[in-house]
Amino acid sequence: MPNIRFVQFEPWFIRLQLLSWGGITLLTLLTLTLWYVRDGWPIYEPWQTIAQNLFGAALSFLIKPVFDEAWEDSMVTRVLTYLPVILAVACVWTLAKISMHAHLTDQPELWNEFGGWNYASLFVLLFWSALYCGARYYVELEEEHKLVLKAEAASIEEHIKRISAESVAKESQLEMLRYQLNPHFLFNTLNSVNALVQMGENEDAQKMVVKLSEMLRYTLSLKTNELVPIEQELQMLAYYFEIEQTRFSDRLTVSLKVTKPARDCLVPSMILQPLAENAIKYAIAPSEDTGWINIDVRTQKNQLIMEILDSGAPEDIANSLDTTSTGVGHNNINDRLAWHFPDEYDFKSKRRKDGCYIATISIPITRQNTYDQA
């Protein structure tokens, strides 16, 4: 059984037909019909005009499939397709109009005026064709615009989902780095407590445990991606150094210096802790002599500079240290700085010629008011 293809007429096309042919009929009645019937309306008017235009509207339904079939072709092909069809339909419409009028008026000589009547039919159909093409262009642009908006909305939604997923992943990574740091610090401190217990210094070990609990309470209260005031970070270091001074007593001297413009700056929490631990591990613990650790925090242009300088390891121990390896703590610092300040930070450390070891962190200045707005 052969497939039967039905022509579909979209709602916009039906509206176009009603408006265009309704307007053409009204214009014809108010101009040509009234002008040629000055002595009164014949019995067949205005029904003849309405019937003629209804027939023209019916013929336009036949034009639409031809227009649609050639719509995707080139402009030249479309013009060469449309014009013959419009001309042929105009001739059919003219034949119908003259036949109807000649039958109603008994004027067979009207066939001599076929050219004039056909010109009017051709003009009306060309006008209708222009309306159809313009309306279809508009509808397609609207549909394309809706598709673009839908695609943009989908793209934005996908982008938001991707950003959300990346944010969750980064926060998870930062949380992992933080938990990586806490056991690292805890391991070192518990070793110190163990050493004191073995030496019988139970009172000092107890003080160290109390300080340790204060530090752990502080670290656990911090948010994953939080920036904290530098003074709060230095207070954290003060707790740590008090713990270590319980162990090393007079062998450890600590200096904390913060310039006034740097006091309200924000830094990643516990960012200096690994550097302090390394200074204790490599400069103070191996030496039987007095060692020192100097911490200097200052601003320089739009950067916050944090510097930890220690007295360095004894020469025989320093030669055996791997100065190219930064260890867990240094890797943690790099990763966390990269998370907070991508491409805007600098972290470097080196052993100086005088044996002292220096580590420097440089980050953009961030203050509480700008951080809250961000």
pLDDT in tens, 309-366: 999 876 666 666 554 444 667 877 888 888 888 889 999 998 888 889 999 999 999 9
- Average pLDDT over every residue of 132-137: 91
Half-sphere exposure of residue 241, counting CA atoms within 13 Å on the CB side? 23
Q: Does 275 have pLDDT greater than 80? A: yes
pLDDT above 90 for 294: yes
The torsion angles phi and psi of 266, rounded to 5 degrees, stand at: -110, 145
pLDDT for residue 195: 79
- For the record, the structure tokens of 240 come out as 């740590």
End-to-end CA, the chain: 70
Give the span between the Cα atoms of 374 and 360, in whole angstroms: 26
Q: Residue 181 in contact with residue 220, Cβ under 8 Å?
A: no
- From CA 140, how far away is CA 142, in angstroms rounded? 5
| 213/220 Cα distance (integer angstroms) | 10
- Average pLDDT of the segment spanning 281-296: 87
To the nearest 10 degrees (0 to 180), the angle between helices 11-28 and 114-198 is 150
Look at the block and give the residue holding tokens 């150094």: 241
Is the N-terminal amide bond of 46 cis, ω within 30° of 0?
A: yes
Of 131 and 33, the structure prediction assigns the larger pLDDT to: 131
What is the per-residue pLDDT for 3? 45
- Beta bridge partners, 113, equal none
Q: Is 63 helix (H, G, I), strand (E, B) or coil?
A: helix
pLDDT of residue 359: 94
Other CB atoms closer than 10 Å to residue 43's CB: what's the count? Answer: 7
pTM over 0.75, yes/no: no
Residues in the chain: 374
Confirm or reject CATH 3.40.718.10 for domain 201-373, answering yes or no. no
pLDDT on residue 2: 40
C-alpha separations of 308 from 29, 62, 353, 356 in Å: 97, 88, 16, 10
Write out the residue limits of the CATH 3.30.565.10 domain(s) in the chain. Answer: 201-373
